[in-house]
Amino acid sequence: MKIRTTIAAGIAVATALALTACTGGPSSPAASGSDGKISGNISFQTWSLKNDKFTPYFESVVKAFEKEHPGVTVKWIDQPADGYEDKILQQAGSGELPDVVNLPPEYAYSLASAGQLVDLKKESKILGDYVDGGVGAYKYDGIDGSFGFPWYLGTELNYWNKDLLAKGGVTAPPKTHAATLDAAAKLAAAGVQTISDVPGPKSLQIMVSDRGGNLDVYKDGKFVFNTPEAAAIIQRYAELYTAGAITPEALQNAGTANANVNNFNKGTVAWTTSGPNYIDKDVSVNAPSILPSVEASNGFGSPPLFVQGISVSAKSKNSATALAFAEFLTNTKNQIAFVKLAPGFFPGTRAANEDPAAFTETAKNKMQGVATDLAASQMNKARMVGAPKFTEAMETYAKQQIALAVKGEISAQAALDKAVEYAKQNVAS
Amino acid sequence: MRLQRWYTPYLLVLPGVIWMVVFALWPFLNTIALAFTDARPLRPAEFVGFANFDKMLEDDRFGYALTTSLIYVVVCVPLLTFLPLLLALLVHNKVPAIGFFRTTFYFPVIASAVVVAIVWEFLFSGSGTINSALNFFGLIDRPVEFLSDRWLLIGCAIGLTVWKGLGYYMVVYLAALGNVGRELHEAAAMDGADRWRRFWSVTVPGVRGPMMLVSVLVCVGASRVFTELYVLSNGSGGPGGRAMSMVMLIQSMGKGLNGQVGYASAISLVLFLLTLVPLLIVGIANNGDTIREALASRRAVKAAKIKREATVQEVQR
């Protein structure tokens, strides 16, 4: 009887210990095993870049680094496009974050606030070689330091279906967002739909800037995107929905990525926004039938700046090697070689951007060349949208509320107020 | 004969116990523990008492998700309990090529829920087959909002769940119908019972056990619906997220680097408790006779005891 009681007690204690070990607490930062020498094995992770185009590039970069530093081995891992955030979370949670990792600024913010990334401002001597906008994307209010080397940068352009515009009597793509909404009303009267997305706070920032104003998502410790200017734009969307200028899919997909691009590819709407490589990467592959009708134009207002960066894990056992590889991968020579493979994107170092001719490759389609030139012309005024504390879940919630306002079930101001309240209640302390 | 050691039975059950503790009991207990914390990924968790449950009461998305899941249960349970039975009765008859029809009705079960939902999305989207057909025949000026109106979206998802589940439960009933004696039907017919009467008085009681099993399975499945609503709304839950189910809400709250794991766990706990309620009702309905018998026997014992005491008192007097 005593033995049974002991066994039962043992199981209970083990269960209790296991439970306490899994309540979300971060593991303490590992003591760095690095002795400052560039040696040993490191892992390097990219995001959906293992394919015929990029694989030879990464293999050659890894080989060159290993040749430069005999005895060093770099293990390259690539993760699929879907579920990257969950993969990063799983790796960070289990203390297995790769030594060198490709992270967008919002993911890097979460990891930096949990002490999982190396402060490059402190550890790297060459951070000044990178473009300010890119470095700034990896600096966060409330956290001292900089947590990513800018790797490649992009922006967003407008794409138009000229045939659909012509059907509604619109002869040239509108130059401003306000003109686009007027054109949408005109096209709706001719039975042509223009819009298949509802604006979120991030796109409202662009729309407000196009009207000469300024919309902050987060300022002085508060979420402040519920302004009358933003509400007026949503109200206009509601009117356009009633007029038939906006597809039902815009409401169905509120808060999901790429819904407007998918509808544009189907040829059901006249306007979408997308990255600079949309023509060669997407339209020519997934919707070749509409390719002759597609025309690109500059993004509205202050267009968004998209940054991809390379960060170094704070738990790396060979942090000196990891840092050296991150610097090597993002040096001017390697960045130019990389963006040559990705038309429409721009390198993250100052030196590489001094001579755009060095990385501009001939595009497969004529309109891709136009899009690349347009992207280059607007990079100077592109800026980061959103805010590190404004999470994807908050953007999704805001879009869901805005969809209700567009449908006419709540007012535009109420939608924004609810979204601000939700953000306020759900922000991580 | 050599006696086994005292720990042999424990060793035999140990693999099963470990499996259950690691993959069932521990995650369940951990979810309960997390429900009372403000856990977020990569951050230390703190005990917050019932704060997550208080938050739930103020969260309109929780209200919508609860309503969606309850509607799903209320509509799906009767539909998926009786329609497969009718279908099974139809294909139970021995007519030529009946195997073909049985296989055809079972096809949706084999297909992946995600694939089927994508096909339904093609059918019901703004530029989908149904809207195009209605437009072609001049019945509508603008697309019907099948997938962007809360109730139509839930209706489409329920239609998909029912269509996909019919074949599976039909097979369960087919197996049960084989046990309903032909002589019972013949006897009922001789007593003047028509087909409808025979269905209610012979067939339904004959498949009562499987019917209860089906209703329990449908009930649990419907309260945990995710795929249909997720795919049909492209993960958004429709305008305002008002067509989200409980599981969709748990997924959206708990996912990602900023996921609110504590709050998502609290919703999971509520979902678990809510799932127990219909199970309890079905359990009571299923064991009604047993419960009645037990109560009657208890009453009889009590009455006998009172009677015995009265007799003893009378004898003493």
Angle CA(A365)–CA(A371)–CA(A377) in degrees, nearest 5?
A: 145
Question: Residue B45: inside a domain, yes or no?
Answer: no
The token duo for B312 is 């003893």
Whether residue A199 is predicted with pLDDT greater than 50 in this model: the reply is: yes
Q: Report residue A23's pLDDT band, with 50, 70 and 90 as the boundaries.
A: very low
What is the dotted CATH code of the domain comprising A40-147+305-376?
3.40.190.10
Asked, colleague to colleague, whether A40-147+305-376 and A157-304+383-426 share their fold, the answer is: yes
Structure tokens at B152: 């139509």
What is the predicted pLDDT for the residue at B113?
A: 83
Pairing, β A305-312 against β A100-103: antiparallel
What number is the average pLDDT over the span B214-238? 90
Residue B289 pLDDT more than 90?
no
Put simply, the chain A residues between 293 and 312 with a CB less than 8 A from any chain B CB are: none
pLDDT the model gives residue A21 = 43
- CATH assignment at residue B278: 1.10.3720.10
Which of B148, B248, B261 is most worth mutating to test chain A (most A CB atoms within 10 A of its CB)? B148
The answer to the question of residue B224 being in a domain is yes
How far is B224 from chain A, CA to nearest CA, in Å? 21
**What per-residue confidence (pLDDT) applies to A4?**
54
Question: Is position B84 within any domain?
Answer: yes
Give the DSSP letter string of A354-383: T-GGGT-PPPSSHHHHHHHHHHHHHGGG-B
Sequence spans of domains, chain A? 40-147+305-376, 157-304+383-426
Look at residue B6 and tell me if it is in a domain: no
Q: What are phi and psi of A254, to 5 degrees?
A: -55, 120
Instruction: Tell me what the pLDDT averaged over chain A comes to.
Output: 88
Nearest CA distance, B95 vs chain A (angstrom): 45
Q: Residue A93: list chain B partners with CB under 8 A.
A: 41-42
Residue B280, domain extent: 59-286
pLDDT above 60 (res B117): yes
Of the given ranges (A293-307, B4-18, B88-102), which has the lowest mean pLDDT? B88-102
A332 band by pLDDT with thresholds 50, 70 and 90: very high
Q: Is the pLDDT of residue A200 over 60?
A: yes
Query: Which pLDDT does position A295 carry in this prediction?
Result: 96
Chain A CB contacts of B44 under 8 Å are 24-26
> Using CA atoms in the order B46, B50, B52, B54, what is the torsion angle rounded to 10 degrees?
-150
Q: What per-residue confidence (pLDDT) applies to A29?
A: 38
Of B236, B242, B261, the CB nearest to A253: B236
pLDDT top residue among A40 and A18: A40
Which of A89, A252, A260, A426 has the highest number of chain B CBs within 10 A, making it the mutation to test binding with B?
A252
Query: Quick one: pLDDT at residue A255?
Result: 62
pLDDT in tens, B133-165: 998 998 988 889 898 899 999 999 999 999 999
Query: Rounded to 5 degrees, what angle do the CA atoms B117, B120, B124 make?
Result: 135
Q: Which of A414, A395, A394 is nearest to A404 (CA)?
A: A414
**pLDDT tops 50 at residue B1:** yes
How many residues does the structure list for chain B? Answer: 317
B207 found inside a domain: yes
User: How many Å apart are CA A412 and CA A240, to the nearest integer?
Assistant: 13
Mark yes or no for CB contact A110/B257 under 8 Å: yes
Q: Does A199 touch chain B (CB under 8 A)?
A: no
User: What dihedral do alpha carbons A189, A193, A197, A201 form, nearest 10°?
Assistant: -30
CB-based contact (8 Å) between A404 and chain B? yes
Question: Is residue B27 scored above 70 in pLDDT?
Answer: yes
* Per-residue pLDDT at A316: 94
- pLDDT on residue B262: 95
Enumerate the residues of chain B whose CB falls inside 8 A of the CB of residue A253: 233-234, 236
In this prediction, residue A37 has a pLDDT band, given cuts at 50, 70 and 90, of confident
The pLDDT of A174-202, averaged and rounded, is: 95
Q: Is the pLDDT of residue A111 over 90?
A: yes
Nearest Cα of chain A lies from the Cα of B280 at a distance, in angstroms, of 29
User: pTM value?
Assistant: 0.82
| pLDDT at A2 > cutoff 70 | no
Q: Is B297 part of a structural domain of the chain?
A: no
CATH superfamily of A157-304+383-426: Periplasmic binding protein-like II (3.40.190.10)
Q: Do A15 and B29 touch (CB under 8 A)?
A: yes
User: Which residues 253-272 on chain A approach chain B with CB closer than 8 angstroms?
Assistant: 253-256, 259, 266, 268
Q: What is the mean predicted confidence (pLDDT) over B184-200?
A: 88
pLDDT band for position A28 (cuts 50, 70, 90): very low
Is B41 a domain residue? no
Q: Is B120 within a domain?
A: yes
Q: What is the pLDDT of residue B101?
A: 87
State what percent of residues in chain B have pLDDT above 70. Answer: 99
Burial of B131 (0-12, 13-18, 19+ CB in 10 A): buried
Convert the pLDDT of each residue in A237-270 to its tens digit: 999 999 999 988 888 877 666 678 988 999 989 9
| Percent of chain B predicted with pLDDT > 90 | 48
Could you tell me how far CA B49 lies from the centroid of its own chain?
30
pLDDT in tens, A41-91: 999 999 999 999 899 999 999 999 999 999 999 999 999 988 899 999 999
If you average pLDDT over each of A367-376, B150-159, B282-291, which comes out highest? B150-159
B273 band by pLDDT with thresholds 50, 70 and 90: very high
pLDDT at A296: 95
Q: Domain total for chain B?
A: 1
CA distances from B202 to B172, B174, B180, B183 (A): 18, 15, 8, 10
How confident is the model at residue A17, as a pLDDT? 43
